[in-house]
Amino acid sequence: MKLHYYPETDSLYIELRDAASAETREIADGVNADFGEDGNIVGLDIDGASGKLDLGSLETVALPFGSLRAA
């Protein structure tokens, strides 16, 4: 899973799987879900992220990390 923040558009993309998006559905105002060819969710796009989320912190609980990287 990867988090991509784009300050020029204030959008956050949460990449859940490394797969191409075949379909996008708006699931809430400014929140789009991307689905792969197999129908499973591959990512979430959140427009106006800084107004909807606390982008100043990131906390995980009991995730079984294979690796952790910050860029």
Q: Where are the domains of the chain?
A: 2-52
**Cα(63)–Cα(23) distance, integer angstroms:** 28
What pLDDT band is residue 30 in, cutting at 50, 70 and 90? Answer: very high
What does the block give as tokens for 32? 């789009």
What does the block give as tokens for 47? 């427009």
Element of type H or E holding 52: helix 49-52
Average pLDDT over residues 1-23: 96
Q: pLDDT of 43-67, one tens digit each?
A: 999 999 999 999 998 888 888 878 8
Burial class (CB in 10 A: 0-12, 13-18, 19+), 60: exposed
pTM of the model: 0.87
β-pair partners for 34? 24, 43
